[in-house]
Amino acid sequence: MEKNSKIYVAGDHGLVGSNIMSRLQEKGYTNVIGRTRQELDLTNQEAVNTFFESEKPEYVVLAAAKVGGILANDTYPADFIMKNLQIQVNVIDAAYRNGVKKLLFLGSSCIYPRMCPQPIKEEYLLTGELEKTNEAYALAKISGLKMCYYYKKQYGANFISVMPTNLYGPGDNFGLTNSHVLPALLRKMHEAKESNADTVEIWGTGKVLREFLYIEDMADGCIFLLENYDGADFVNLGTGKELTIRELAELIKKVVGFKGELQFNTDKPDGTPRKLLDVSNMEALGWKYKVELEDGIRRTYEWFLANENNLVMK
């Protein structure tokens, strides 16, 4: 990519897209564009085609998606599969038809089988059943990465895909009904500390294992791939490190300064037992994460405190 290449970041107001856009600008890319949902409805094929025909972006980062945690995924599966499929089909096809030089599609590590061998290699995709609570979202993301693969195979389009692990950081969604586990726990601990509560409830047993990648590292990794990778196969993006939800909760408790007890509600679902990505392919390309988890949580909490009064949280 040239520094003046026109780069369209789809989903530039979300956690992933906004960080990729900011990092591109920090690296000296001067023609990075985005559109709000009000300006461009990516589920509307005609609107997407018109946008690509008029703007003619040279590079595209497809970070737009309908996302949520276990509760949202399990409650609204039709919305999750329909809206994500619409976005992906519209953007990927329009990119091809309008001569985009390169497209980067962002998936999710939930695409892998529920009982996958660990750590998870890219070739384990479609070797077993998916986790039921987020199956609809996972099926949409699998379709997106396969679309990129087949457009490359049939048309020679330079469309690549990356599979990030669980992401977190400044700008995250801190809602209690529609967010992911780390920001939800951070908010719960903060509010418990503020109200001098004795306990914080945490869904599940606390025994399942998760991997977390700081959002700025994710942006760096994605731009690295845009600049250095043209392969047909998608690439895992993560830290290669994991911890239990109980250990995560204890770490957040430490950072926030909550002094009470943690209560695990075993009537609530755990989700996938373990989900550690094998990141050896990414490291072989020459990229590795920088921000360790405790430091990332501390940065995220500092941002939360600075922006708490302006956040819309459900």
Which residues are identified as catalytic?
A: 137
Residue 69 marked ligand-binding: no
> In 142-226, at which residue ranges do the beta strands (DSSP E only) sit?
159-164, 166-168, 199-203, 209-210, 212-214
Residue 187 marked ligand-binding: no
List the structure tokens of 90: 């519209």
Residue 190 marked ligand-binding: no
> In the chain, at which residue ranges do the beta strands (DSSP E only) sit?
7-10, 32-33, 59-62, 102-106, 159-164, 166-168, 199-203, 209-210, 212-214, 235-237, 243-244, 261-265
Residue 166 marked ligand-binding: yes
Q: Under a CB-based contact definition with an 8 Å cutoff, are residues 81 and 137 in contact?
A: yes
Residue 165 marked ligand-binding: yes
Residue 17 marked ligand-binding: yes
**Rounded CA Rg of the chain:** 19
Residue 203 marked ligand-binding: yes
Residue 126 marked ligand-binding: no
Residue 253 marked ligand-binding: no
The DSSP H or E segment spanning 224 is helix 215-228
Q: At what angle do helices 77-97 and 45-55 cross, to 10 degrees?
A: 30
Residue 233 marked ligand-binding: no
Residue type, 143: S
Annotated binding site for NADP(+): 11-17, 106-109, 141, 164-167, 180
State the binding site. 11-17, 106-109, 141, 164-167, 180, 188, 203, 210, 270
Instruction: List, as residue ranges, the binding site for substrate.
Output: 188, 203, 210, 270
